[in-house]
Amino acid sequence: MIEPNQIIAAARYLKDEAGFDMLLDITSVDYCPRVEGRFHLVYHFYSMKKNQILILRVPLNGNEPEVQTIEGIYPNANWYERETWDLMGVHFSGHSDLRRIQLPADWEGHPLRKDYPLGYEEVQYSFNYDDIAKTKSHPKD
Amino acid sequence: MIKLPAASMDQIKHLVSERALTGETMLLNMGPQHPSTHGVLRLLLELDGEIIVNCIPDIGFLHTGIEKNMEAKTYQKAEVMTDRIDYMYTMGNNLVYCLALEKLTGLDVPERADYIRVILAELSRLQSHLLWIGTSAMDLAAMSVFLYAMREREMILDVFELVTGQRMMTTYIRPGGVWRDLPEGFEQSIRQILKVFPKRIKEYESLLTRNPLFRDRTIGIGKISVEDCIRRGVTGPVIRGSGLAYDLRKARPYSVYARFDFDIPTQQEGDCYSRYLVRVEEMRQSLRIIGQALDRLPKGPFRSSNRKFVPPPRSELGVSMEALIHHFKLWTEGFSAPCGSVYVGVESPRGEMGVYLEGDGGPKPYRAHYRTPSFVNLQALPLMARNHFVADLVGIIGSIDIVLGDADR
């Protein structure tokens, strides 16, 4: 577990000196009611020579977290970080191409967050469109 | 909320070369409904005449929110979603999920279940490779291979139907073992497959390996080096086709793979043709594993007797109070996994498929994330496709063997 501002240094050390030459995965977890350390980024590094996996956890504070990209060190972080931004809303500063990857470009919200509701739209027995719009948590349309 | 601009030319400006902005090179959209993109993959191509200058994959058309859905279901129900991820390797998806769950909860698996799992996972790999050899040869206009490959694939799907009741979405491998014991007639049908397949694989080879048209379209096309593979996290037949014998079944053996004797085929060139050779040889190795597992298939229980995780047999419900309580609890509330997180990877036909599973002490996964090989391997497509013809791009996509359900989840 390391602090978010050390991620670049840690990744560089892992790649250049510790021999972790492959980035297996980046994912994220949301511990929602918590604000301090609400999001955890989970990095999986793999060393071909030593046949070891190293897991780094990076806690991030606040609802709009931001962390530096490691795309410059591991090129395949590009899509993982885009996915994490798309689904979890973790912003990677310095990323070359931070667009949504899975969802349409005009989507609002980040579905994997715990405060994003899962489910269908309730049937409204009303033509009062103002009232209907109020009940929607994510007024997309 | 930090907002990104809507989809427009401005958004992709930084991805294409300056020549595209002046109109010197052409931007061309390929897909998502293109028949040879193996699903719904959209590629934005920057072309100089017929040469690919740049290729920008756009995925997500098949995104179904599986990870989000899994969080809302109990562990048993969430497993049904995993079938739909890589729909060509359903047994492996179940296997990796169950391995992760067993690691998280410390659940034991009887030996017989382990062997059944290996046989079925290898059959799954075989049918995935068969479909691959058919479709990717068809992309290169070798139509007849597809018909032969589908004929043999049918034999394997029939076995799945016999064992699990389903041809594709099986959900047969369950936490703590498998759903039910092997039915009668299983061994005969596998023996039949083992007898027929070596001949049939030779048939495909005689259709393709020395076929001059196929060789012209694949040798030297879509090259990638081992270093590039490692840098980009590419695994599976692509990295083995480049010369590195990296296979999770040997590197980090899971289940009972360490007990079987098999080789990891490699090729040195790293082009489409060597990836083809690797896959054909892998089919033979899969048959070897299946043969050994079938010979040594032990007798005994097919699922764990830990009643806190595995439902009791139906016959006990009428006579045992505990069994009834366990049955009721397991099918209403489900079982709980402790707090903590695990990562387990298996070798799918496309590369390393990993699952990251986090429990919070309740009956539902707090976070389930799949590290899918197609998603990662597709990132290397622009690198492989650069400076090739558009017609070759089709072959390169085929040679990576992407499954879009796997990439989009």
pLDDT in tens, B358-385: 988 888 899 899 998 988 888 888 888 8
* Residue from B230, B346, B370, B374 whose CB has the most chain A CBs within 10 Å, to mutate: B230
For position B356, what pLDDT does the model report? Answer: 92
A4 DSSP assignment: G
Is this prediction's ipTM beyond 0.95? no
Q: State whether A74 and B246 contact (CB < 8 Å).
A: no
- Token pair for B5: 């601009």
DSSP A63: S
B311 Cα to chain A: minimum distance (Å)? 29
Question: Percentage of chain B surpassing pLDDT 90?
Answer: 19
Per-residue pLDDT, B245:
87
Are the beta carbons of A42 and A56 closer than 8 angstroms? yes
Omega before residue B32 within 30° of 0, cis: yes
Alpha carbon of B209: minimum distance to chain A alpha carbons (Å): 31
Torsion of CA B283, B289, B293, B295, to 10 degrees: 90
Return d(Cα A21, Cα A13) in angstroms, integer. Answer: 11
Q: Which residues pair with A23 in a beta bridge?
A: A45
Identify the contact set of chain A against chain B, taking CB-CB distances under 8 A. 21-25, 27, 29-30, 42, 44, 48, 51, 53, 55, 64, 74-76, 78-79, 83, 87, 91, 96-106, 108, 111-112, 116, 118
Please answer whether residues B83 and B169 qualify as being in contact, where contact means their C-beta atoms are separated by less than 8 angstroms: yes
Q: Which residue of B has its CA nearest to A26?
A: B371
Per residue in B176-228, pLDDT tens?
888 888 888 889 999 999 999 999 888 888 888 888 888 888 888 888 888 88
What is the Cα–Cα distance from B378 to B169, expressed in whole angstroms? 24
Of B129, B295, B123, the C-alpha closest to B201 is B129
Q: State how far Cα B78 lies from the chain centre.
A: 18
**SS3 of A122, please?**
coil
**Alpha-carbon span B253 to B346, nearest angstrom:** 8
More confidently predicted of A118 and B10: A118
Task: Pick left, alpha or beta for residue A36 (phi over 0 → left; psi -120 to 50 → alpha; otherwise beta).
Answer: beta
* Secondary structure of chain B in HEC code, one letter for each residue: CCCCCCCCHHHHHHHCCHHHHHCCCEEEEECCCCHHHCCCCEEEEEEECCEEEEEEEECCCCCCCHHHHHHCCCHHHHHHHHCCCCCCCHHHHHHHHHHHHHHHHCCCCCHHHHHHHHHHHHHHHHHHHHHHHHHHHHHCCCHHHHHHHHHHHHHHHHHHHHHHCCCCCCCCEECCEECCCCCCCHHHHHHHHHHHHHHHHHHHHHHHCCCHHHHHHHCCCCCCCHHHHHHCCCCCHHHHHCCCCCCHHHHCCCCCHHHCCCCCCCCCCCCHHHHHHHHHHHHHHHHHHHHHHHHCCCCCCCECCCCCCCCCCHHHHCCCHHHHHHHHHHHHCCCCCCCEEEEEEEEECCEEEEEEEEECCCCCEEEEEEECHHHHHHCCHHHHHCCCEHHHHHHHHHHHCCCHHHHHC
- Check whether B95 has a pLDDT greater than 80: yes
Residues of B (172-231) whose Cβ lies below 8 Å from A: 230-231
Sheet holding B351-359, edge to edge: B340-348, B351-359, B365-371
What's the confidence (pLDDT) of residue A121? 61
Judged by phi (left if over 0) then psi (alpha if -120 to 50, else beta), residue A114 lies in alpha
**How far is B342 from A90, CA to CA, in rounded Å?**
22
Mean pLDDT along residues A119-126: 66
Q: Is A126 helix (H, G, I), strand (E, B) or coil?
A: coil
8 Å CB contact of A27 and B356: yes
Q: What domains can be seen in chain A, in order of their start residue?
A: 4-135 (3.30.460.80)
| pLDDT tens digits for range B55-66 | 888 888 888 888
Instruction: Calculate what percentage of chain B has a pLDDT beyond 70.
Output: 96
| Interchain contact, B69 vs A118, CB within 8 Å | yes
User: Does B61 lie at the interface with A, CB-CB under 8 angstroms?
Assistant: no
In chain A, whose CA is at the least distance from the CA of B245? A48
Confidence of residue A111 (pLDDT cuts 50, 70, 90): confident
Q: Does B240 touch chain A (CB under 8 A)?
A: no
Looking at residue A135, what is its pLDDT?
Answer: 65
Report how far Cα B215 is from the mean position of its chain's Cα atoms.
26
Compute the CA torsion angle B304, B306, B308, B314 (nearest 10 deg). 70
Structural domain boundaries in chain B: 76-305+335-380
Assigned CATH for B76-305+335-380:
1.10.645.10
Res. A138: pLDDT tops 70:
no
Backbone phi and psi for residue B340, each to the nearest 5 degrees, phi listed first: 140, 170
Using the CB atoms, write b or e for B280-298: b if 16+ within 10 Å.
Answer: bbbbbbbbebbbbbbeebe
